[in-house]
């Protein structure tokens, strides 16, 4: 049992491929919470998110023979789930992005100074207006703290494209915030969107 706990995902995948179905249960245990959390960020409905997760694991099991290990199993699994969540959003055409606690593109210190829900609601609306790929990169980076390499694998795009989608999302949010007086004052006071995009630009340099 102890040995099972220290096996890598790739080792478990190979066991499943060799016919040891119990190994897939370990993969489910390892990743179901993260997958559910990520799905909720997209569909904002627990029941729907649970369906996405269940369908994702079923598809992963059915397609496991095609997984060659070029990316991490987690990235491959998240890719399946993101595609599933996107399909759900397209099917239902509902407003389903969770931006609770205003955690997008602001640090903990800035977050603690936000008062009320008005900014959170406006931010949620602005994130919804972002192009799909920019919104996806933003959610994966901010909420799941994934690397750009992982995001690129999940989105099936080059590393620089994943990074650019994230950067453009932040810049658009910054522009929209600065167009509104109340939000511009908040951004200037605590760093807000402007601070995050400036830090990103410095990191890029």
pLDDT in tens, the chain (205 residues): 445 457 899 999 999 999 998 999 999 999 999 999 888 888 888 999 999 999 999 999 999 999 988 889 999 999 999 999 888 877 765 444 443 433 444 444 444 444 334 556 667 777 778 899 999 998 898 878 889 999 999 999 999 999 999 999 988 888 877 776 555 554 544 444 544 444 444 444 3
Which residues touch 99 (CB under 8 Å, ≥6 apart)?
120, 123, 124, 127
Under DSSP, the state recorded for 66 is G
pTM: 0.67
Whole-number Å distance between alpha carbons of 103 and 42: 15
Question: What number does CATH give the domain 2-92?
Answer: 1.10.1740.10
């559910």: which residue's tokens? 36
> What is the predicted pLDDT for the residue at 183?
55
pLDDT at 203: 40
**Contacts (Cβ under 8 Å, ≥6 apart) of 61:** 16, 24
CATH topology agreement for domains 2-92 and 101-204: no
Q: How many of the other CB atoms lie within 10 Å of CB of 95?
A: 10
Write down the pLDDT at residue 74: 92
DSSP one-letter string for 82-148: HHHHHHHHHHH-------GGG-TT--HHHHHT--SSHHHHHHHHHHHHS-HHHHHHHHHHHTS---H
For the domain with range 101-204, which CATH number is right: 3.90.1720.10, 1.10.10.10, 1.10.150.120, 3.40.50.720? Answer: 1.10.10.10
Phi first, then psi, for residue 203 (nearest 5°) are -65, -35
pLDDT at 92: 65
Tell the residue number behind the tokens 């990235």, with chain if given.
75
Q: What ranges do the domains of the chain cover?
A: 2-92, 101-204
């Amino acid at each position: 049992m102890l040995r099972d706990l220290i096996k890598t995902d790739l080792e478990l995948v190979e066991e499943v491929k060799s016919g040891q179905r119990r190994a897939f249960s370990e993969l489910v245990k390892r990743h179901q919470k993260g997958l559910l959390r990520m799905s909720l960020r997209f569909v904002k409905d627990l029941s729907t998110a649970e369906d996405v997760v269940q369908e994702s694991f079923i598809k992963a099991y059915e397609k496991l023979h095609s997984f060659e290990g070029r990316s991490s199993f987690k990235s491959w699994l998240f890719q399946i789930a993101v595609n599933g969540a996107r399909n759900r959003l397209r099917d239902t055409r509902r407003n389903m992005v969770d931006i609770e606690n205003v955690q997008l593109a602001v640090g903990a210190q800035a977050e603690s100074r936000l008062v009320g829900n008005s900014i959170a609601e406006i931010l949620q609306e602005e994130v919804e207006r972002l192009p799909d790929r920019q919104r996806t990169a933003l959610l994966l980076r901010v909420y799941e703290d994934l690397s750009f390499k992982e995001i690129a694998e999940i989105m099936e795009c080059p590393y620089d494209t994943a990074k650019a989608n994230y950067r453009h999302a932040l810049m658009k949010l910054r522009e929209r915030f600065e167009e509104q007086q109340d939000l511009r004052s908040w951004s200037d006071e605590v760093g807000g969107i402007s601070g995050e995009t400036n830090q990103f630009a410095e990191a890029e340099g």
